[in-house]
Copies of this chain bind each other. A is one copy, B any other.
Amino acid sequence: MIHVAVMGYGTIGSGVVEILEKNRETITKRTGDTVNVKYVLDLREFPGTPVENKIVHDFSVIENDPEVTMVIETMGGLNPAYPFVKACLEAGKHVATSNKALVAAHGTELLRIAGEKNVNFFFEASVGGGIPIIRPLYTSLAGEEIEEITGILNGTTNYILTKMDKEGETFESALKEAQDLGYAERNPEADVEGHDTCRKIAILTAMATGHEVDYEDIHTEGITSISDVDFKYAEKMGTSVKLFGSSRIKAGEIHAWVAPVMIGKDHPLYSVSDVFNGILVKGNMLGTSMFYGSGAGMLPTASAVIADIIEAVQNRNRHVEMGWDDSRLAIAPTQTSSCRFFIRIKGIAEERLAEVLKVFGDVTVIELDHMDEFAVVTDVMTEAEYEKKAKELSGIRQRIRAEV
């Protein structure tokens, strides 16, 4: 019997306990052993629940119990998750975590300690909720040179953008609806400003390259500037706008960024709607693969933690090689990234087009009825080129990166 401790009995932690019970037979069959939750660490009591007698408030009980060989961290945030997880690994306990903030900020160190102590530090649930993505990157895609990872990695912003797209809502009303449904927090900044997506693409980039990524090096734009007017153009163009976290790796140069992107119906991520996540992976031999599923939610995310627990039990006596080393990956300056740009410009196309063509070269023009503006999509150019050109043109109201 494997004794585990669950740290944090919130949504995901309680989901993990629930699945360990509900799918006990399957899990026992896979691991050849039974998994027993010995402790649940939480500040609260949970009288009348199955964990009533397992609750501890003192971390040192877990740290100092040699019978506990595996710890599941589902507290979130860095403090006290970071010191607790570090102490567990140093005490020779395996750790599975769903905590993207922890993995993005301290993954390198925690992976190193896990290696030194011959235990495992797994974090499948930290990216893409229930979508298997971390594990495929070190197993199924292990022989590939990854050329691109692009994901819709945040369910809250995808829900908001889907509402704006399908129902013509404004950003503000879609956000309010997401908050009312519990999909967005009262303080939605981490989601809508792209910070959550940034940490996730940092983790995926480190997995794909084998090197540490500082998420602060990743240029991050959120969706707060996307308006219902943008979606009116998108509708006419047969496109949509999604928040992408993306890394593109070419000839040793890595571009990584988080930004809203206008995409067409033929993009594999076009149909990833509502709170779902989708992750596209391009390998040099494999071509394009796409993984789709529930990016959040109690049971899907807990299910990913369960997969980590099973792999840790199967490998209880050895360290599975995965993750990244401590050599910091250099992210190319954003200014050198290239794409098309969707631009909305004040005025009438007929009157201003010559000026626009002079500045941007060949463009596609999109006009809506009854508007005091028009839009164009440029050819591919670098961000630096775009910014230089944009200064030469007055009345630019919006610019969105476009892959159409």
* Chain A interface residues toward B at CB < 8 A: 15, 19, 22-23, 26-27, 29-30, 32, 124, 130-132, 135-136, 138-145, 210, 268, 270-271, 283-294, 297, 299-300, 302-304, 306-307, 309-311, 314, 321
What are 28 pairs between A and B in contact, CB < 8 Å? A19-B143, A19-B285, A22-B285, A23-B143, A23-B144, A26-B143, A27-B143, A30-B321, A32-B321, A124-B140, A130-B285, A132-B289, A135-B139, A135-B140, A136-B140, A139-B310, A139-B311, A142-B307, A142-B310, A143-B303, A144-B306, A286-B293, A286-B294, A286-B299, A289-B293, A289-B294, A291-B292, A314-B321
Contacts A285-B302, A287-B294, A299-B286 hold; do A140 and B22 have CB atoms under 8 A apart?
no
Which of B29, B284, B307 touches A141 (beta carbons < 8 Å)? B307
In order of increasing CB-CB distance, the 6 nearest A-B pairs are A132-B140, A143-B306, A289-B293, A290-B292, A285-B303, A285-B299
**B residues near A311, Cβ cutoff 8 Å:** 139, 142
Contact A142 B287, beta carbon cutoff 8 Å: no
Which of B135, B285, B307 touches A143 (beta carbons < 8 Å)? B307
Tell me, rounded to whole Å, the shortest Cβ–Cβ distance linking A181 to chain B: 17
Docked complex Cα distance between A23 and B297 (Å): 37
**B residues near A288, Cβ cutoff 8 Å:** 293-294
Docked complex Cα distance between A302 and B284 (Å): 12
Tell me, rounded to whole Å, the shortest Cβ–Cβ distance linking A314 to chain B: 8
Docked complex Cα distance between A287 and B297 (Å): 10
Tell me, rounded to whole Å, the shortest Cβ–Cβ distance linking A304 to chain B: 7
Contacts A23-B284, A303-B283, A321-B32 hold; do A143 and B310 have CB atoms under 8 A apart?
yes
Tell me, rounded to whole Å, the shortest Cβ–Cβ distance linking A335 to chain B: 30
Which of B19, B140, B145 touches A307 (beta carbons < 8 Å)? B140
Residue of chain B at shortest CB distance from A293? B289
Contact B291 A303, beta carbon cutoff 8 Å: no
Tell me, rounded to whole Å, the shortest Cβ–Cβ distance linking A244 to chain B: 17
Docked complex Cα distance between A271 and B278 (Å): 14
Contact A131 B287, beta carbon cutoff 8 Å: no
Residue of chain B at shortest CB distance from A137? B132
Docked complex Cα distance between A271 and B263 (Å): 15
Docked complex Cα distance between A372 and B304 (Å): 54
Docked complex Cα distance between A373 and B138 (Å): 55
Tell me, rounded to whole Å, the shortest Cβ–Cβ distance linking A251 to chain B: 15
Contact B306 A285, beta carbon cutoff 8 Å: yes
Residue of chain B at shortest CB distance from A132? B140
**B residues near A289, Cβ cutoff 8 Å:** 130-132, 291-294
Residue of chain B at shortest CB distance from A271? B271
**B residues near A285, Cβ cutoff 8 Å:** 15, 19, 22-23, 130, 299-300, 302-303, 306
**B residues near A304, Cβ cutoff 8 Å:** 140
